[in-house]
């Protein structure tokens, strides 16, 4: 594996050329201002001409504006992106600033580029050449960013912030293309993004991690673990993600029954996954104790796997089955597969994204294909079938069995884009100009952040006396008197 990597891309270490973070941030933001000025405009529901649009379309009230349907979901998804993903990655003992801070940076960086990339594919107005954005565009941009944050999990602690921005730049470009192919050309349905977001993001990150393999990473092994409080912080991220995942999977589904059903299916799958994860974690650990890694990650796998089929008639018991299976597969992945991948496949997956996103994403794609192929008029109703699968326009003669094949094709496209794109971007990231950390300085905030002094090295200064402080003094004096 190592020889093959070296053959694919040489990675010289000695160079004086370094691309600085301030330069990248300033240049990028100026470029965004110019591109937004040229291309981006408000859509009809966020423009001042809304009042005229209301009268023309005979819309009775401002409450019909899409903002009031979508903003609560947008808010939840936004929290997942910045708080959920950010804190989920704070488990490393000396990399919490990097986890939350760089997550913040690349999400803010990426969502601007996502509005442009997705806009060119999905919401370009050919009459004036402008991209029209509204609240649904903001949700989709967050979804786009999620794929890159998933990929960040695979290389967490081993790359520089500039490398992360390059990863995000190419990741969002690839995402927009594969999303257009899967949703528009192939006509697959993927409400919660099991294929488009999780499968792509997972394999994109794993391929980059494979390309950036570090044979001497054990030099940083002392920093690769967690401490008690860092695991508690990571659990905050887990709980935010777990609570808001029904919003994530239902955010851009059809108003009404589709959105309602997607939330219910996700809610049930997540609940099922928690119990299964706890059972498997306890069963396979010594002395029957729980492993916090499993509880932080595998408990979310059901939300990933139910994403594609979330708006289908999966049935409540079907959602529980999906969650049950994912809890088992994801937890066993952390126990057996992650060590195997690092030892034999040369893939160093810091957060275990293969177990939380890639495998459950593939399962989600398969569940979506089976559920779509099994759809019938007796279950969905004639109008329900047309509405759920968008059997309209060029696809009005589509039948469920054929739709199942299209769903499977969409999954294949997501995997190909993830792996192929990751290898290409990994080659670019191996260039020595990005300032990546040395092998003995990975998983450490020191190279990139101003750090406060450790509490241990700075004795606390008491500004006022309290009971505990006095107790310590009394105990000390008592000990001295005894001596």
Q: Which pLDDT score, from 0 to 100, does residue 397 have?
A: 86
pTM of the model: 0.89
Whether pLDDT at 474 is above 50: no
Q: For the purposes of burial, counting CB atoms within 10 Å of the CB of 220, is it exposed (0-12), middle (13-18) or buried (19 or more)?
A: buried
Query: What DSSP string describes 17-36?
Result: ----HHHHHHHHHHHHHHHH
pLDDT in tens, 181-237: 999 999 999 999 999 999 999 999 999 999 999 888 888 888 888 899 999 999 999
Structure tokens at 274: 């928690």
Which pLDDT value is given to residue 351? 92
Predicted confidence band at 31 (pLDDT cuts at 50, 70, 90)?
A: very high
Q: What per-residue confidence (pLDDT) applies to 16?
A: 54
Domain boundaries, the chain: 70-430
Q: Say which DSSP state 433 is in.
A: G
Over range 460-468, report the average pLDDT: 46
Residue 480 has pLDDT above 80, yes or no: no
Share of the chain above pLDDT 70, in %: 90
Q: Is the pLDDT of residue 461 over 50?
A: no
CATH class of residue range 70-430: mainly alpha
Q: What is the pLDDT of residue 393?
A: 84
Predicted confidence at residue 226, as pLDDT, reads 87
For helices 359-373 and 316-332, give the axis angle rounded to 10 degrees. Answer: 150
**CA-to-CA dists, residue 159 to 197, 263, 338, 357, 446, angstroms:** 22, 36, 20, 20, 13
Q: How high does pLDDT run on average in the chain?
A: 88
253, 367, 259, 370: which is closest to 306 by C-alpha? 367
What are 141-179's pLDDT values in tens digits?
Answer: 999 999 999 999 999 999 999 999 999 999 999 999 999
Dist CA 27 CA 293 (whole Å): 39
Is residue 4 predicted with pLDDT exceeding 60? no
* Residue 437 scores a pLDDT above 90: no
- pLDDT greater at residue 123 or residue 2: 123
SS (H, E, C) 192-232: CCHHHHHHHHHHHHHHHHHHCCCCCHHHHHHHCCECHHHHH
Q: What is the pLDDT of residues 411-434, one digit of tens each?
A: 999 999 999 999 999 999 998 888
Predicted pLDDT at 413: 96
Instruction: Check residue 19 and give its pLDDT.
Output: 83
**What's the pLDDT at 469?**
44
Residue 17: band (very low, low, confident or very high) from pLDDT cuts 50, 70, 90: low
pLDDT for residue 372 is more than 90:
yes
CB atoms within 10 A of CB 75: 13
User: What percent of the chain has a predicted confidence (pLDDT) above 90?
Assistant: 70
Does 241 score more than 80 pLDDT? yes
Give the strand pairing for 124-125 and 130-133: antiparallel
**pLDDT of 11 higher than 80:** no
pLDDT single digits (tens) 88-101: 999 999 999 999 99
């Amino acid at each position: 594996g190592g020889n093959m990597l070296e053959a694919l891309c040489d990675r010289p270490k000695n160079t004086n050329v370094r691309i600085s973070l301030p330069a990248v941030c300033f240049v990028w933001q100026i470029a965004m201002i110019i591109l937004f000025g040229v291309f981006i405009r408000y859509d009809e529901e966020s423009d001042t001409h809304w009042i005229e649009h209301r009268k023309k379309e005979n819309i009775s009230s401002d409450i019909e504006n899409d903002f009031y349907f979508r903003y609560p979901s947008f808010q939840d998804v936004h929290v997942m992106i910045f708080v959920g993903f950010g804190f989920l990655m704070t488990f490393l003992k000396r990399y919490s600033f990097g986890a939350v801070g760089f997550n913040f940076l690349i999400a803010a960086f990426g969502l601007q580029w996502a509005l442009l990339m997705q806009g060119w594919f999905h919401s370009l107005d050919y009459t004036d050449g402008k991209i029209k954005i509204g609240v649904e565009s903001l949700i989709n941009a967050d979804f786009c960013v999620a794929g890159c944050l998933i990929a960040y999990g695979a290389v967490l602690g081993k790359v520089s912030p500039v490398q992360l921005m390059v990863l995000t730049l190419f990741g969002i470009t690839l995402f927009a293309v594969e999303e257009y192919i899967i949703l528009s050309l192939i006509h697959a349905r993927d409400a919660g993004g099991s294929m488009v977001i999780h499968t792509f993001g997972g394999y994109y990150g794993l391929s980059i991690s494979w390309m950036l393999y570090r044979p001497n990473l054990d030099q940083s092994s002392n920093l690769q673990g967690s401490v008690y409080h860092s695991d508690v912080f990571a659990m905050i991220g887990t709980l935010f993600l777990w609570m808001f995942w029904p919003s994530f999977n239902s955010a851009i589904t059809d108003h009404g029954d589709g959105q309602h059903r997607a939330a219910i299916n996700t809610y049930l799958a997540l609940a099922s996954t928690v119990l299964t994860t706890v059972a498997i974690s306890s069963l396979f650990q010594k002395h029957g104790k729980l492993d916090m890694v499993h509880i932080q990650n595998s408990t979310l796998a059901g939300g990933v796997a139910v994403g594609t089929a979330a708006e289908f008639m999966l049935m409540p018991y079907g959602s529980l089955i999906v969650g049950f299976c994912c809890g088992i597969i994801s937890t066993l992945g952390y126990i057996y597969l992650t060590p195997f991948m690092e030892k034999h496949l040369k893939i160093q997956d810091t957060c275990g994204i293969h177990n939380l996103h890639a495998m459950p994403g593939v399962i989600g794609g398969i569940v979506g294909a089976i559920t779509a192929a099994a759809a019938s008029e007796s279950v969905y109703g004639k109008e329900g079938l047309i509405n759920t699968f968008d059997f309209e326009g060029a696809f009005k003669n589509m039948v469920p069995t054929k739709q199942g094949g299209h769903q499977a094709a969409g999954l294949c496209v997501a995997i190909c884009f993830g792996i192929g794109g990751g290898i290409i971007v990994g080659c670019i990231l191996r260039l020595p100009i990005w300032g990546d950390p040395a092998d003995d300085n990975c998983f450490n905030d020191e190279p990139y952040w101003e750090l406060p002094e450790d509490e241990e090295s700075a004795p606390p200064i008491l500004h006022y006396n309290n009971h505990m402080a006095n107790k310590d003094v009394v105990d000390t004096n008592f000990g001295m008197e005894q001596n």
